[in-house]
Structure 1
Amino acid sequence: MCAAGTEALAAAPIGVIIADDHEVVRRGLGMLIEGEPDMRLLGMAASGAEALALAAATAPQVILLDIRMPGIDGIAAAAQLRAAHPRLAILMLTSYSDDARIYAAMRAGASGYLLKEMSGDALLHAIRAAARGEPQLHPTIARRLMDRVMPPDDPLARLSPREHDVLRLIARGLSNKEIAFATGLTEQTVKSYVREILGKLGVADRTQAALLAVRYGLIGDAEG
């Protein structure tokens, strides 16, 4: 068991599917996941169509999805998976880091964008975090997106103290329900705060808001 195993969840094992058209990659990832006591490999797919069928049959919590696959590619598969399985964590795991594919994957509903150059421990950490509902970005991708969304002034100055509190919890990966519990607010009130925060920061989603929180010092890298 690797060092990342210390993060193992106490609940039932995380069900994972691997979708990649390269057999060597599938086998390597499969061995990595099968070595973790808090994860269960539900199956492997060599195409987008196989991934869709396998997800429907096994109801995984996390899918590792390559972008370039025969027939239905990873981005098209991600869009269909998001529509059919709204709670599924879709992690794009690819060799491509160009902006066009990153933004296409996010628009399709991907929960994260990871590069195959990452270590095994880092990938296992990302799977566990994604299963908890936390967005996952490879550090290279995160830095690039921070550069894109960073305005010249401090955007956090636009937020109220309560909105700062909510954004700090968003950046730590908490869901609306968890934020409501932590702050004593209702879940509906938290949803309203989240909408206000996204609007004031001029970002499209929670991931970009979290990146701004880290970039402008509201939360440190170690906290996230």
Structure 2
Amino acid sequence: MPESDVAVNLVVIDDHPLFRRGVADLIQMSDRLHLSGCASSGAEGVALVRTQKPALVLLDLNMKGMSGIDTLKAIKALDVDSRVVMLTVSDHEDDVTAALRAGADGYLLKDMEPEDILTHLEQAAAGRLTISPRLTELLARALRGLPPLTDALTARERDILRLLATGRSNKLIASQLDIAEATVKVHVKSLLKKLRMRSRVEAAVWAVENIERDSPSGKLKTP
């Protein structure tokens, strides 16, 4: 949940008018989210994010013209701090991993119950990583069997990895560890490289499956 009573601004990018209207109606049910704009294409969406600088972007994956992945990359290249959550019909492993590795902060499926979507969006607005439970299991299976490289991590990196596993954003991790957000970013980049992963979401899912979060050493779970 947001740490303040101020509603978080959200932009929706989706090329289906009926779905945009449905999302708008859904967001009106929350006092923690405020819809500040909608876009019907990737290019229009990037321009809207550039001007609005929303805290949260809800982005479709499969759109005509500029794809969701290309739109995501363009948004991440902007000088904004917007978190981007994919909302799509695709539960294919390739699509999920492509989005997460391109920098998505979450991945939700359109066939979820509306109330569940709203709950996940509020979690994302609070700075949490959010992903459909079914996809968490998919990612866990895909990441299972990776070599236990946590010994290569520093103590601080293990601390951050355990917090990533709880879904915390860099800002929340920095606050909890009483360090600068820029320092957290450096550590995240380093631990991803050591774990041979390209996405913080991948690292979070892998950590949930493999790391004892309550252990001061960040050791691997035992079977």
TM-score between the two structures when normalised by the length of structure 2: 0.80
**Partners of 1:212 and 1:218 in 2: how far apart?**
11
Contact 1:96 1:115 in 2 (8 A): yes
Aligned to 1:112: 106
Aligned to 1:51: 45
- AA in 2 matched with 1:24: L
Question: Is 1:37 aligned to residue 39 of structure 2?
Answer: no
Question: Is 1:23 aligned to residue 17 of structure 2?
Answer: yes
RMSD: 2.8
Question: Is 1:122 aligned to residue 113 of structure 2?
Answer: no
**Partners of 1:20 and 1:186 in 2: how far apart?**
35
Aligned to 1:93: 87
- AA in 2 matched with 1:141: L
Question: Is 1:133 aligned to residue 138 of structure 2?
Answer: no
Q: How does 1:1-224 map to 2 (within 5 A)?
A: 7=1, 9-151=3-145, 154-156=148-150, 159=153, 163-176=157-170, 178-183=172-177, 190=184, 193-216=187-210, 218-219=212-213
Deviation at 1:57, TM superposition (A): 3.1
**What SS does the corresponding residue of 1:84 show, helix, strand or coil?**
coil
Deviation at 1:118, TM superposition (A): 1.3
Query: Which sections of structure 1, spanning at least 5 residues, go unmatched?
Result: 1-6
- Counting aligned pairs with the same residue, the percent is 35
The number of residue pairs the alignment matches comes to: 214
TM-score between the two structures when normalised by the length of structure 1: 0.79
Contact 2:93 2:139 in 1 (8 A): no
Q: Deviations over 1:8-51 (max 9, x none)?
A: 65242111112222222111111010121121111222222222
